[in-house]
Amino acid sequence: MEKVKIGIIGTGNIFGAYVRGCRAFDILEIAACADLYRDAAEAKAKEFDLPRVCSVEELLADPEIRIAVNLTIPKAHAEISLAIIEGT
């Protein structure tokens, strides 16, 4: 079975719960995470042993990432959701 690659945008308080939830499904693979604050994303990637930290733009442009999970704060949520839908 080929795994479906996921990218998570937003590495705040709820990030860990989503990582653990995704890992409960053998078909899912978290391929990358992104955050406005790169150092925050790097810390979470290290904590959860994720393979890649990138910008939101890089994550959304990656053709291997099939699902983008938006965990951003309310102020940024709509903009990121629209970017996901538009594929930009």
In tens digits, what is the pLDDT along the chain, a chain of 88 residues? Answer: 899 999 999 999 999 999 999 999 999 999 999 999 999 999 999 999 999 999 999 999 999 999 999 999 999 989 999 999 987 5
Indicate the domain borders of the chain: 4-86
| Other Cβ atoms closer than 10 A to 39 | 10
What's 4-86's CATH class?
A: alpha beta
* pLDDT at res. 87: 76
**Tokens 């078909």, residue?**
27
Q: What number of CA atoms fall less than 13 Å from residue 48's CA on the CB side?
A: 24
Global pTM value: 0.93
Measured CA to CA, the distance from residue 58 to residue 54 in angstroms comes to 6
